[in-house]
Amino acid sequence: MPGPKPDTGVKYWLLYLILWAPVPLLNWVALVIVEFSLRESARRTGGPAEANSRNALNWVLTWGLVNVLAAALHFGLLFALTGDGGSIGSEDPLFWVPVTTASLLGLTVIGGGITTLVFMIVGAVKAANGRVFHPRIAIPFI
């Protein structure tokens, strides 16, 4: 005789959000603050330094937006896959947490980190030669 389903409702989702959110969020906020402070000094210098700092800030904001969208998709998929109206069920609804975490968040954080590292190296080489580096995939916020 099957017993009642264990309660895997709001308390688990809230705990997961509290444990997960501060790590990438605080890191990104610190990076934006540093980029804005560097942008002010580069604006006074002018020339390629100002353009490179603007492009770097645009990339940081783009990467942040991609991470926010990936997190929203992550939690949306978790709700859809494990909620009462979910189309895919499992004996243990928390099975989907590592699956969506590894696929969405891992891809955006690790992929974005590798892309940022490549942009930093290419940008530093171009800036040392007095040229401007334009990351093609960055959204021009500024």
Instruction: Say yes or no to pLDDT of 28 above 60.
Output: yes
Of the CA atoms within 13 Å of residue 55, those in its CB half-sphere come to 21
- Mean pLDDT across the chain, nearest whole number? 75
Kindly report, residue by residue over 60-115, the tens digit of the pLDDT: 888 888 888 887 887 777 777 766 555 555 556 666 677 777 777 777 778 888 88
Q: What percent of the chain has pLDDT over 90?
A: 4
| Reported confidence tier of residue 42, pLDDT bands at 50, 70, 90 | confident
Instruction: Say yes or no to pLDDT of 41 above 50.
Output: yes
Instruction: Say yes or no to pLDDT of 8 above 70.
Output: no
- CA 33 – CA 30 distance, rounded (Å): 5
Q: What is the mean pLDDT of residues 39-55?
A: 84
- CA 37 – CA 58 distance, rounded (Å): 14
Report the Cα 6 to chain-centroid distance in Å: 32
Tell me, what's the pLDDT at 3? 47
pLDDT top residue among 14 and 59 = 59
pLDDT top residue among 15 and 57 = 57
Instruction: Say yes or no to pLDDT of 24 above 70.
Output: no
Which position has the token pair 């859809």? 80
